[in-house]
């Protein structure tokens, strides 16, 4: 696989779903953490995502409580925790959550279950929510309404969407059919434009969108051509071509509830 799939049922999460979680685990990195630091494409993607997280922080209101949905090892949570944020980290992978607890000791870590259709958080309890490269979660039919419930008025959602309405998406689905003989591909299945329309109808407004990952590289590629392709993306202004972008990084804000006269 070429994406963060930390929000995956590990087979023994049901008995702890929705509860605070703490486990002894070695302070270490997941495979995708190592990719993010040691490969050219990984560093490029990480920098794009890091900048959108930091930009999203500037829009957030107090209290500075954030939730990391599908937190994995907690590398995004650590960025905000180091900047004074109170973090709640949620994941359905026991091992990843244990690493997150060690990497972000101040965080409240909650073990979830992939079959859950609600977030184990109080309504209006967070001013910022992150969902970075967690495809099954962000595409779930209940995700938008639950994030809307959890965020306070003018709360911020920062996310990464893997867009099926892109050349990369079409190529990936075709390759899956030809190589694996399957039509059920985990990624690049849904259209960002449709998802965005539903998000706006749920009660959000979009503050920032940026396109990325136009180059023909796998998630863990260390090709020497990566720097040239990333420079070309900017030169051609491809970061502005959102509708057909392979990946979209975005910042959305929950609209305040309308009050009667």
CATH of the domain at 132: 3.40.50.150
Specify if 75 maps to a domain.
Answer: yes
**Number of domains observed in the structure of the chain:** 1
Mutual angle of helices 31-38 and 40-59, in 10-degree steps? 100
Residues 6+ apart with CB under 8 A from 71: 6, 77, 89, 90, 91, 96, 97, 100, 109
Specify if 67 maps to a domain.
Answer: yes
Given this model, what pLDDT does residue 21 score?
A: 42
In sequence order, what are the beta bridge partners of 162? 247
Given this model, what pLDDT does residue 203 score?
A: 97
pLDDT over 50 (residue 136): yes
Q: pTM of the full predicted structure?
A: 0.84
Specify if 260 maps to a domain.
Answer: no
Question: What integer is the mean pLDDT of 13-33?
Answer: 53
pLDDT over 70 (residue 47): yes
Q: Which two tokens stand for residue 123?
A: 């309504």
* Residue 154 φ/ψ region, left for φ over 0, alpha for ψ in the -120 to 50 degree band, beta for the rest: left
Given this model, what pLDDT does residue 105 score?
A: 95
Specify if 8 maps to a domain.
Answer: no
- Residue 211 is part of which domain span? 14-254
Specify if 259 maps to a domain.
Answer: no
Question: What integer is the mean pLDDT of 137-150?
Answer: 96
Specify if 22 maps to a domain.
Answer: yes
């Amino acid at each position: 696989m070429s994406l963060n799939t930390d929000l995956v049922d590990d087979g023994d999460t049901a008995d702890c779903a929705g509860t605070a979680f703490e486990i002894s685990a070695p302070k270490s990195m997941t495979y995708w953490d190592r990719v993010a630091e040691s490969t050219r494409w990984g560093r490029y993607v990480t920098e794009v995502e890091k900048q959108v997280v930091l930009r999203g922080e500037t829009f957030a209101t107090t209290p500075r409580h954030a939730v990391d949905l599908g937190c994995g090892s907690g590398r995004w949570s650590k960025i905000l925790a180091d900047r004074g944020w109170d973090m709640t980290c949620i994941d359905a992978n026991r091992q990843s959550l244990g690493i997150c607890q060690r990497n972000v000791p101040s965080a409240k870590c909650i073990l979830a279950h992939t079959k859950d259709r609600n977030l184990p958080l109080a309504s209006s309890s967070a001013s910022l929510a992150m969902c970075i490269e967690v495809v099954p979660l962000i595409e779930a039919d209940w995700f938008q309404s639950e994030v809307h419930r959890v965020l306070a008025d003018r709360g911020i959602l920062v996310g990464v969407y893997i867009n099926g309405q892109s050349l990369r998406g079409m190529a990936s689905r075709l390759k899956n059919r030809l190589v694996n003989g399957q039509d059920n591909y985990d990624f690049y299945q849904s259209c960002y434009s449709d998802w965005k329309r539903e998000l706006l109808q749920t009660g959000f407004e979009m503050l920032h969108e940026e396109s990325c990952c136009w180059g023909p590289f796998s998630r863990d590629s260390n090709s020497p051509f990566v720097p040239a392709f990333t420079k070309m993306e900017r030169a051609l202004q491809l970061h502005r071509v959102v509708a057909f972008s392979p990946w979209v990084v975005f910042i959305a804000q929950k609209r305040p509830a309308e009050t009667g006269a």
